[in-house]
Amino acid sequence: MKILVVGSGGREHAIVWKLAQSPRTPTLYCAPGNAGIESLAACVPIKADDIAGLKAFVLSEQIDLTVVGPEASLALGIVDEFRKSHLRIFGPSKGAARIEASKVFSKEIMASAKILTAKSQSFERVELALAYLDHHELPVVVKADGLAQGKGVVVATTREEAKQAVRDSMEHGIFGQAGQRVLIEQFLDGEELTIMAFTDGLTVVPMLPAQDHKRVGDGDTGPNTGGMGAYCPAPIGTAALREQVTKDVLYPAVEALSRMGCPFQGVLYAGLMIVNGMPYVLEFNARMGDPETQVVLPLLKTDLLDVVEAVVEHRLDQLTVNWHDEIAVCVVMTSEGYPGVYQTGRAIHGLPAMTDTTTLVFHAGTTRVGNEVVTAGGRVLGITGRGKTLEAAQAEAYRATQSIVFDGAHYRTDIAHRAFSRHVQH
């Protein structure tokens, strides 16, 4: 069986790695892939947003199944385009992917499905947004409406900071088209949690709960990033809370999209804020999270290929999805300056072989130049440690992180700190 994975980041490396473990030994391709993926799959130099190029490749190589990693390809309608030619593809249609591609559309879905979320107002004119901020309580959240690679959200503690965020987005165009409309939202104070779910449009199967670390610095300081690390399962995601999220968040969202004539097939990601034990939705994504995938997939016991096919063939209700009783912690190594301006092309030394099952090194922004693996992005590597306890998993991740070296490497030293403070409280 031939499978194409679309994308080039840490999430896609984790997906390729998991598919490579299938007892059905599929032949794997990845477009465009990266220096870590190339040992598991044939990397094809086609960009993830080149829908026509990807489709031509799938037809010429007679690929049996395509798995889409990044949100941009989904928002561009890759699934609709492939389905026109009866090609099997894992991911939501363009209509369903709007739940991520437009924050305003996402809020409309939540309102119609009565899903708990922060109060918000959307604006298409700068002066109206600025006037609204004059009376809004602080802190306040300013979000670009469209896709901004996880960077389009500012939590402002002063009015000036909030207004600057609006101007940056709408006047200075730092997020391009994505920031022409903004959402101004009530700030929710609680603990963040990610629950992703496989769904075929009817059945919803939640994955283990994970927690992502968005801010660049230790102690959750500095600007928001695409994610500095994650751990799974997060203790705040108790069995009772997971059940509540499945019943009150995931199923209502899937059903609302179906009612609108755009059934959702693939992975639905709920980014939650737990406020006094209640799950409020911060955002929905239409694909697996990055770096959450790097801690969730290593704990999946069921063959990922079986799950993907069950989703594509609308028979997820016939499959039992099982998990390993372990903990995974992922530490992201970034380029100096990220999430701002950073240099690339720096040689990476000390990369371990991926033979050790307790430590996994997922490449996020790397490429090969001659015999060297060099940095090619802001987030460079995701190092995942596994263990029977949180302490063991975290120690594994940091042990491997400390042996990898490149100029200007930065990483947080406190990934999973909230889970440890929870241990102490109980």
Other beta carbons within 10 angstroms of residue 124's beta carbon come to 12
pLDDT of 424: 46
Indicate which CATH number applies to the domain containing 37: 3.40.50.20
Provide the 3-class DSSP secondary structure of residue 257: helix
267 and 306 fall within a common domain: yes
**What does the DSSP 8-state code read for residue 252?**
H
In a domain, 281, yes or no: yes
Domain boundary among 186, 218, 240: 186
142 and 206 fall within a common domain: no
C-alpha dihedral sign at 144, 228, 73, 365 = positive
Per-residue confidence band for 178, with pLDDT thresholds at 50, 70 and 90:
confident
Res 353 pLDDT > 90: no
27 and 88 fall within a common domain: yes
Per-residue confidence band for 347, with pLDDT thresholds at 50, 70 and 90:
very high
pLDDT of 242: 97
Strand order, beta sheet including 204-206: 204-206, 191-199, 266-275, 278-285
Average pLDDT on 42-66 reads: 98
Average pLDDT on 104-115 reads: 93
291 and 357 fall within a common domain: yes
pLDDT of 425: 43
Indicate which CATH number applies to the domain containing 181: 3.30.1490.20
172 and 208 fall within a common domain: no
Res 421 pLDDT > 80: no
Amino acid at 283: E
pLDDT of 10: 97
Angle between helices 417-425 and 390-403 (to 10 degrees): 150
Stated length of the chain: 426
**What does the DSSP 8-state code read for residue 127?**
H
DSSP H helices, 102-235, are 103-113, 126-133, 159-170
Q: CA-CA distance, 281 to 273, in Å (whole number)?
A: 6
In a domain, 253, yes or no: yes
By the 10 Å C-beta count (0-12 exposed, 13-18 middle, 19+ buried), 320 is classed as exposed
In a domain, 108, yes or no: no
301 and 413 fall within a common domain: yes
142 and 219 fall within a common domain: no
- The number of C-alpha atoms within 13 Å of 231 and in the hemisphere containing its C-beta is 27
Angle between helices 251-259 and 103-113 (to 10 degrees): 100
Average pLDDT on 86-110 reads: 94
180 and 287 fall within a common domain: no
In a domain, 112, yes or no: no
In a domain, 109, yes or no: no
Per-residue confidence band for 28, with pLDDT thresholds at 50, 70 and 90:
very high
242 and 385 fall within a common domain: yes
Q: Which domain holds residue 181?
A: 119-186
Q: CA-CA distance, 310 to 143, in Å (whole number)?
A: 35
Domain boundary among 137, 163, 186: 186
In a domain, 279, yes or no: yes
Q: CA-CA distance, 93 to 141, in Å (whole number)?
A: 29
Indicate which CATH number applies to the domain containing 362: 3.30.470.20
Domain boundary among 186, 205, 238: 186
In a domain, 110, yes or no: no
- What would the pLDDT profile of 199-214 be if each residue is shown by its tens digit? 999 999 999 999 999 8
279 - beta bridge partners? Answer: 274
340 and 371 fall within a common domain: yes
Average pLDDT on 345-364 reads: 87
297: region left, alpha or beta (phi > 0 left; psi from -120 to 50 alpha): alpha
79 and 153 fall within a common domain: no
Instruction: State the pairing for strand pair 211-212/140-144.
Output: unpaired
Q: How many domains does the chain have?
A: 3
401 and 337 fall within a common domain: yes
Res 16 pLDDT > 90: yes
Average pLDDT on 99-119 reads: 92
In a domain, 113, yes or no: no
